Amino acid sequence: MDKLGLGLAAVSSVVATMSLWRTLKLGSEVQRLKQHDYETESKVREVTRRLTEAVEQLRILVAAVASGETLDADLIRSGRLYRELSVEEVRSLLSAPSRQEIVLVDVRTLKEFSHAHLPGALLLPVEELEQRYRAEIPRQGKQVVMYCSTGDRSRLACEFLSRQGYVNLSVMKGGLQQWRGPLEQEGPASLVQIESRKASRR
C-alpha cells in the first residue's frame, strides 16, 4: 500500500505539474491573442481615421469645384488642401505687381511678431485662429500665405482652415528661419495699437 500510495502521489504530482504548465501556457497564449487583437484594433482605428480624413478632403475639394473654385492638379494630387511655397516663391509673390492679391498671415505670438515679421503681414496667432478667421481671412479672391518660425504652426493653421472649406491657402516652408529678405519690427506705439485691437475683440 505504501508503494502504491507513493506511486499515486508521484502520478498526481506529475499530473498537477502538467496541468499547471498547460494553464500557464494557455494564459500566455490568451495574453498574446489579446495583444494581437489590441494591435489589430489600433491599426483598424488608424486606417479608419486616415480614410475619414481623405474622404473629408475629397468632399471639400468637390464642394469647391461645384462652387466655381479653380483648383490646380498639383493640389489635388498632393492630397492636401493647401500649397507649400518655398521662401523664394513667397519673395517673388510679394514683389510681383499682383501683391495686393496676397494676404500674408503671421501665426506666431505678439512677442515674436514685434521682434521681426514680414512687411505687410497680418498678425493672427494660431491660438486665436478659431475665433478670428471668419472676419479676417478671405475665403475667395485672395491667396492666403501663412508663415511662422519653422512652418509647423502655419501648417496647423492651414489644416484647420482647410477643414472649414478654404482652398486658397499656402504655407511658407521653413518659416522665418529660412527667410532671407527685408523684415519689419514694431515700435512701442504700434504694439499699443495691436493690443488695443485685441482687447476690442474680447
User: Which residue ranges make up each domain of the chain?
Assistant: 1-68, 71-201
CATH number of 71-201: 3.40.250.10
- What confidence score (pLDDT) does residue 128 get? 97
Q: How sure is the predictor about 78, in pLDDT bands with cuts at 50, 70 and 90?
A: low
Say what the pTM is. Answer: 0.63
Task: Choose among 124, 117, 155: nearest CA to 138.
Answer: 124
Distances in whole angstroms, Cα of residue 90 to Cα of each of 76, 145, 163, 170: 21, 8, 24, 9
Maximum mean pLDDT: which of 6-15, 27-36, 72-81, 147-156: 147-156
Measured torsion, CA atoms of residues 168, 141, 95, 77, in degrees rounded to the nearest 10: 30
Percent over 90 (pLDDT), the chain: 42
**Better pLDDT: 55 or 156:** 156
- Joined together, the cell numbers standing for residue 32 give 498574446
